Amino acid sequence: INAEPWWKTATVYQIWPASYKDSNGDGFGDLQGIISELDYVKSLGVDVIWLSPMYDSPQDDMGYDISNYNAIYPKYGTMKDMDQLIDQVHSRGMKLVLDLVVNHTSSEHEWFKESRSSKDNPKRNWYIWKPPKYDEQGNRQPPNNWKSCFSGSAWEWDEHTQEYYLRLFAATQPDLNWECEETREAIYEYAMKFWYEKGVDGFRIDVAALYSKVQTFEDAPIVDHTQKWQPFGSLCLNGPRIHEFHKEMYKKVTSHYDVMTVGEVGHCSREEALKYVSASANEMNSIFLFDLVEVGVKGLGRYDFAGWNLDDMRKAVKNMSGFAEGTDAWATAFSENHDQPRSVSRFGTDKNPKGHNKSAKLLAQMLSSLSGTLYIYQGQEIGMTNLPRSWPISEYKDIETLNYYEDFKQRIGDDKEKLEKLMDVVQIMARDHARSPVQWDNSKHGGFTTGEPWMRVNDNYPEINVASQVNDPSSVFSFWQKCLKVRKSHSETLIFGDLKIVDNGHEKLFIFTKENGNKKALVVLNFSEETVPYVAEEGYNLVLTNFDENSDSHLAPYEARTYIK
């Protein structure tokens, strides 16, 4: 029998612990809060939960700065709570996947504390240390011009030992040195096997393409002439030993367990992507590519956002859904996560209740028709939206946004108009849009906490919340339930089919087929707020739509239909 592994047809639901549900009134989400909502999660119809970092951490990057892989952040709970969570997820027939963050640790991790203590400490080589350079004026400079993903130089000066350490993200997120075998062994042991032995079912692998740095540590080419620090590009991304490292991780750890791995890879050619995820490569089961979440991003970073059109969407969907076609690799489908704004605000509308309801459903219908393992991010199932434009920068909490804002201010000065323009883009693209607390009901703070929430709840919680949707057959939530059922019952086309775009570049309609043998699905999406003429093809059965009635001659605004033959 050619049985497919369980993770291929699975739908994964991502939980970001700080903002899911607070059980003890301290204003932070926690593990007991998650446990209390497992029946809700199960009722959506998902198979797997991916839990973002719940490890001990100073939380400079919301847990992606880990100070101990084998302990729980106290505000989230204890190891006992974690064991209970694993158990409770399993007893409901679901699986639990954790986040594996091993490109870097927190600077509070014991490994780094030792490493920074002296140049001859045995763990010195576990991180990436380099002596300074000096410019013509004799001023101390970092070893090269690499820019941090969170603005500024990627190197941090350490007074104590008079060297710089590399940190591609925050100053408190030193990069581990994957060149050192002992470091890799420790990662496998503490960050991975420890959790597999506890029964977790896989990992989402953070920045999985960044571990191998080009060892010359040379300057990156200048692509942005207005700035001193330059994107590190291929000097860190998909580096020389990256596939060797992933093969080793697979051989030494992953292959010994019945688990799934999904690597955050982001940007690369199809050829490069297949190296990570072709089954015969024995590296990772699947990867996240950023085509869809970066629709409209035209420059070097997310704030170089230029708006989007349906052509951008078509191209992204084709790249994402189709990248594994005809190979032994596997795709993923997602439009949100904890680093991305809310998709209904970006690709649909949050401006009026009807448009919001219909466009959130249209996006659900599109996403659940794409190939690969499907991912839903907390709150997406009720159509949670971006934060209001009226919120000032002081409501934003994310280090990436705040550093960018400060850096921008330093470069352009306190120019009010330009800062307002930046806020226009922040309101579309910031990571914090995904990070505001889940809106459970219409009580104070959306029922997220009985205390003061660590981050303000979106003002629209009285209108958009779980309680008002779970028993309403016309809600976004109920529609997601339907989508997931239809996806499973037509998996041969929707999950496994090859995607072909058939709309001939229509300005408002996005139409594609998913084909597998003699089975064919036809997905018709009106991405506009207008009525558009459309006559359905003969010989198909309608299996899913976001309207109660469908016309023979046109599609209503944001109408979506899936036909099967």
* Residues annotated catalytic, as ranges: 206, 264
Q: What CA–CA distance (Å, rounded) separates 276 from 282?
A: 8
Q: CB 396 → ligand ISL: shortest distance, Å?
A: 13
Distances (CA, A) of 404 to 15, 275, 279, 422: 26, 33, 39, 10
Q: CB 551 → ligand ISL: shortest distance, Å?
A: 41
Please answer whether residues 101 and 53 qualify as being in contact, where contact means their C-beta atoms are separated by less than 8 angstroms: yes
For CA atoms 401, 403, 407, 409, the dihedral sign is positive
Please say which residue, 41 or 170, places its beta carbon nearer to ligand ISL: 170
Please say which residue, 149 or 502, places its beta carbon nearer to ligand ISL: 149
Which residue's CB atom is positioned nearest to ligand ISL?
64
Please say which residue, 289 or 382, places its beta carbon nearer to ligand ISL: 289
Q: CB 266 → ligand ISL: shortest distance, Å?
A: 6
Question: How distant is the alpha carbon of residue 51 from its chain centre?
Answer: 11
Please say which residue, 264 or 291, places its beta carbon nearer to ligand ISL: 264
Please answer whether residues 330 and 286 qualify as being in contact, where contact means their C-beta atoms are separated by less than 8 angstroms: yes
3-state secondary structure 410-428: HHHCCCHHHHHHHHHHHHH
Q: What CA–CA distance (Å, rounded) separates 387 from 395?
A: 10
Q: What CA–CA distance (Å, rounded) separates 545 from 558?
A: 10
Q: What CA–CA distance (Å, rounded) separates 121 from 296?
A: 47
Task: Give residue for tokens 């998913």.
Answer: 514
Q: CB 46 → ligand ISL: shortest distance, Å?
A: 20
Please say which residue, 58 or 301, places its beta carbon nearer to ligand ISL: 301
Q: CB 526 → ligand ISL: shortest distance, Å?
A: 31
Binding site for ligand ISL (CB under 6 A): 61, 64, 101, 149, 169, 206-207, 264, 266, 301-302, 338-339, 400, 431
Q: Is 164 exposed, middle or buried (0-12, 13-18, 19+ CB in 10 A)?
A: buried
How does strand 155-158 pair with strand 202-205? unpaired
Q: CB 371 → ligand ISL: shortest distance, Å?
A: 22
DSSP string, 121-146: STTGGGB-EE--EE-TT--EE-SS-B
Please say which residue, 285 or 401, places its beta carbon nearer to ligand ISL: 401
